[in-house]
Structure 1
Amino acid sequence: MASVVIVHGIGRQFSGPELLRGPVADAVCDGVKLAGEPVPDAQEVGVAFYGDVFRAQPDKGGTAHGAGEGDEDFERQLALLWWSKAAALDQRNVQPPGDIVGAKARTPKTVKAALRALSMSRFATRLTEPVLFRLLSQLRDYLTDDDTGGQVLARVRDDIGDDTRVVVGHSLGSVIAYEALCAGAGPSVRTFVTLGSPLGIPLVFNRLTPAPRNGIGAWPHDVTRWTNICDPYDVVALQEKLRGLFRTGQKDVREVPLDGDCVSPLKDCKVDNGWRAHDLIRYLTASVTGRAISEGLTS
């Protein structure tokens, strides 16, 4: 099993574990090198792949979601939240949602309008409306469909081995990785890294397993260091800081001494990914990500 496991995000249903692993492993090594740390062997980097769970299976009567189909309140609320954030960050390119934010109707037009606006933002460069809709629907399906969520979680748990020391989750992958670690996957994992994570969005946070208690999320069992990294223009990471949501106060949260003080083992960091704010490769090549991964391998 790999020492470092990357859990990918949404939109990988037409990829595969080996196809994805090559560029991901190279990006991990580059990030560590740019951080000035000892570069791991690329073979130490693995990918927990689940994308094909979301691939349509016509021979079994399955169809993929299309933009505007299956429009539920989850998609509408999240799309409007992202739209509002994108408009606030990128006023030159994204028109604000205006009165539509207060609307209660569940209409495909509402979601389509949000996705159209998002497609013009720095967050969604090169992403089309159908791709953005899949981002919404896959996140919803993982959190609300027990069969889909169960399949995905089982895949990821199987790929986090007994000797895995660092788990990195991107986008939806950060949610899956978090729940897998909370469920006991990877007994040797001490370092958790989240990239462009939606974990702090109330629509997501309140649906987590285990369920948060008194507004505080459970701590991944054996993790002693958690680094959360986001680009300020990445609207998926709508709640940029996770430290206040996953913090000391839970009985299973550990505190790591730092310069004689007891501090939260969760550290929030920012990066600049340019005009592809949510891109996995750009997150991985950032030196702050490389340093977090290296610390997990050398500590």
Structure 2
Amino acid sequence: MAQVVVVHGIGHQWSGPALMGQDVGPALRDGVRLGAGLRLEEDAVACAFYGDVFFEEGTRSSDVPPWDEYDVDEGFEAELLEAWWQAGAALDPGVVPPDESGTRALLTNRVRAALDVLSGSRFFGTYSDRMMVFALKQVRRYMNEPVVWQAARARVAEEIGPDTRVVVAHSLGSVVAYEALCEHPEWPVTDFVTVGSPLGLSLIFNRLSPLPREGKGAWPGGVARWTNLTDPGDIVAVVNELAPRFGAVVDESLDNGSAPHSLTRYLLAKKTGRAIAEGLA
């Protein structure tokens, strides 16, 4: 079994473990080599793929429904979109802050304003309305639907073996991996590396399993070291520092250039490579 297991985030529903591995594996091995001078074999890295669990059997297609502001559910989805809007305004001078929009009266108007503003931002500029709504729904479904989170965590469990020492998790994958590690303290994983993680966002944090106690999240299983890396321009990682929420997390920042949330750029970073290598030493 692999020494390092990578858990992806949202937006990979039309991929697969082998296909993702063609990008993830080389990027991680390059990051470890550049950051720590350590050369890893191809079979040292595996991808825990769960993108297909968001589709019902036999319904997987090449496109998403033509969703718009009328398809964003009140509650979790609307609140997550609001959090992205606030983060976007804080990072991008071209994004009008939510409190200046003048659209608080109706949910659909508020959502329409958020989608319009974010579609013109540096972070979401390449996203269509339907893709932003699809992202909201994937996060909501993982957090709220047992059949989805059980299947996603099971995919992580399938890749963990006696040789696995490091779990690297990106975006929503950091939530999946965190909860899987909490469920399995017997796993031999010593190092948890999160990149572009939303774990510190209250909307996510307060719904974690196990639930936080007195404002503190549980430590992930038998992990000895947890390193969290964030590009300050990464809107998904709204809360850059996880130590205040979880304890002895080593929080570090890095620069992914024009693609702040890119998984491959996070993996190629020397800081990420050093954190992974520490778990393999």
TM-score, scaled to structure 1: 0.86
Q: Which residue of 2 aligns with 1:73?
A: 75
Q: Indicate conservation of the 8 Å contact 2:72/2:111, yes or no.
A: no
Partner residue, 1:241: 241
1:35 and 2:35 matched: yes
Partner of 1:2: helix, strand, or coil?
A: coil
Structure-to-structure mapping, 1:266-281, within 5 angstroms = 266-281=249-264
Would the aligned equivalents of 1:29 and 1:39 in 2 still touch at CA under 8 Å? yes
| TM-fit CA distance, 1:125 | 4.4
Aligned equivalent of 2:147: 147
Check conservation: 1:160, 1:185, Cα contact below 8 A.
Answer: no
Deviation by residue 1:66-99 (Cα, 9 ceiling, x = unmatched): 34325231111111111111112110x3222234
**Equivalence for 2:107:** 106
Matches of 1:103 and 1:42 in 2, distance apart? 52
TM-score by length of 2: 0.92
Q: Structure 1: which 5+ residue stretches go unaligned?
A: 248-263
Answer whether contact 2:4 2:45 (CA < 8 A) is retained.
yes
Separation in structure 2 between the aligned mates of residue 29 and residue 5 of structure 1, nearest angstrom: 12
Provide Cα deviations, 1:260-280, integer angstroms capped at 9, x if missing partner: xxxx3x100001111111110
Spell out the pairing of 1:202-221 with structure 2 (5 A cutoff). 202-221=202-221
Give the letter for the 2:236 counterpart: V
Aligned to 1:289: 272
Take 1:159 and 1:149, find their aligned partners in 2: how far apart are those partners?
Answer: 16
3-state SS of the aligned residue for 2:200?
Answer: coil
Structure 1 residues 192-231: aligned runs within 5 Å? 192-231=192-231
Compared CA separation, residues 276 and 56, structure 1 to 2 (3 A): farther
Once residues 72 and 129 of structure 2 are traced to their aligned partners in structure 1, the CA distance between those partners, rounded to angstroms, is 15
Partner of 1:85: 87
CA distance in 1, matches of 2:165, 2:50: 20
Kindly report structure 1 stretches of 4+ aligned residues shifted beyond 4 Å: 56-60, 99-102
> 1:17 aligned to 2:1?
no
- Tell me which residue corresponds to 1:232: 232
Aligned residue for 1:53, secondary structure, equals helix
Separation (CA, whole Å) in 1 of partners of 2:153 and 2:147: 10
How many Å apart are 1:40 and its aligned residue? 1.0
Identify if the C-alpha distance between structure 1 residues 39 and 202 changes in structure 2 by more than 3 Å, giving closer, same or farther: same
**Identity between Structure 1 and Structure 2 (%):** 47
Could you tell me which residue of structure 1 aligns to residue 160 of structure 2?
160
Alpha-carbon deviations, 1:225-270, whole Å to 9, x = none? 00000010101111100001101xxxxxxxxxxxxxxxx3x10000
Structure 2 residue runs of 5 or longer lacking an equivalent are none
CA contact under 8 A between 2:185 and 2:222: conserved in structure 1? no
Q: Deviations 1:12-49 (Å, cap 9, x if unpaired)?
A: 11001100001100000111122132121122110000
Residues 160 and 187 in structure 2, CA contact (< 8 A), matched pair in contact too: no
Residues 1:150 and 1:106: Cα distance change in structure 2 (over 3 Å): farther
Q: Which moved more, 1:51-60 or 1:218-227?
A: 51-60
The alpha carbon displacement at 1:128 in A equals 2.5
Residue number in structure 2 paired with 1:253: none
Q: Is the 8 A contact 2:200 2:240 kept in 1?
A: yes
Query: What is the root-mean-square deviation of aligned Cα atoms in Å?
Result: 2.1
